[in-house]
Structure 1
Amino acid sequence: MPSNPGITISMFNHLKGNLERLSQEIQQMLITIDQRESSVLNEFEELHHLFHDVQVNAASYYLRRYLAPFTKQFDVLATAIQHLSQRNHGALIVIQRNDDLTRFIHSGVPIHAELSAPLLESIFYSGNPLHDGAVLVCNNKIVSAANILPVSNKKVNLKKIGTRHRAALGISELTDALVLVVSEESGRATFALGGNLYPIMTKGLR
């Protein structure tokens, strides 16, 4: 079960509300577009922003659900991601789920410490020699840091993303691992799963 079912229900209700609003806006556009003298261009811009909000809300909701069976420290991860995002500190965190990752990760520096937000944040501090690699999390522990991941060979849109995102995609294409990424350039947070990237909402994630 999620570490805080109340938050999960709230996130689900928020997602459902946004989907209902999106549906209403589309229905209104269908009515308006039948009136030939009317323009729907402004409505498209509103739909674009609303659809993005729905996508981010959905990713944040499912992120919690995807991780719940594999770690009890979702709130710790959420806190670290929020702080790293606010400071534009790049981060790459691999959470092991069912698949053994040994064959796919070039081992870095062993940590074997309890998962905590301050420790994660200190690892990805730009002055820390471990900050460039990936942190491996298994259950409620940080197993290692400065790990090297396989890089995705996908051709589509790879020019638009950095090395961390390509590495996140790479390991998620080969295993069922879930990978959290924070962009050093923009501070935006995403997660990779099944060879896809999903933006997540850092505000209100916990």
Structure 2
Amino acid sequence: MDAVRANPQPPWRPSPEAEAETAEWRRTLTAGGAVQRDATERLYELLLRVSRGEVQRRAAAIRVTGPELDDLAHQAAGDAVIAVIRRLHEFRGESRFTTWACKFAMFEVSTKVGRHFWQHPTVPLEGADWERLPDRLGITPEEASQDSELLAAVRAGVESQLTRRQRQVFLGVVVDGIPIDALALRMKSTRGALYKTLFDARRKLRGYLVTNGYLDAEGKETR
């Protein structure tokens, strides 16, 4: 760790090729006429590939397939293109232009997946469904009947050890199975922030279960 701190990674420096690529995108996306239309179409195709990959990766969480899933990708790519062109003047060359542009597509996918979930919810929206907890934790019905004491301890830990926000994220993601994108939209947060909150919540719960003798230090059940 000390070596890493002593030798931090230098900031990214664009190569001549990357600078030329950025200059070409800037020129063509603002040229007007057929040149701009062609550049916009090329950007759209690039961001559509990214969007399709992202929606496919998240499809299971929102139970969407086929044309509806592809429509989400097209919507995300289209909105991303508009955002890139609108904010083109903000690009500072701290990454490749295409890397910067692709972030808009990923953001749009995240937003649209979240909105789609709330428009077509597949889980209860009011109250935590604790009966789903064993399945969310990978525990079979047979194991759950044997581990009822452990599950009760988990519930007690959630209610007594977690902050209000940690409890809301844990219940939403782990107990009710709400996709992280949808929860981030509802809580006006980001995926990264909620993942950090969930990580902290899991760590607190594990500590609680170890302290109270339900798990050993390696995470194995003791009862």
TM-score by length of 2: 0.25
Q: Which has the higher contact order (CA 8 A, sep 6+)?
A: 1
Q: Which has the higher strand share?
A: 1
Structure 1 length-normalised TM: 0.26
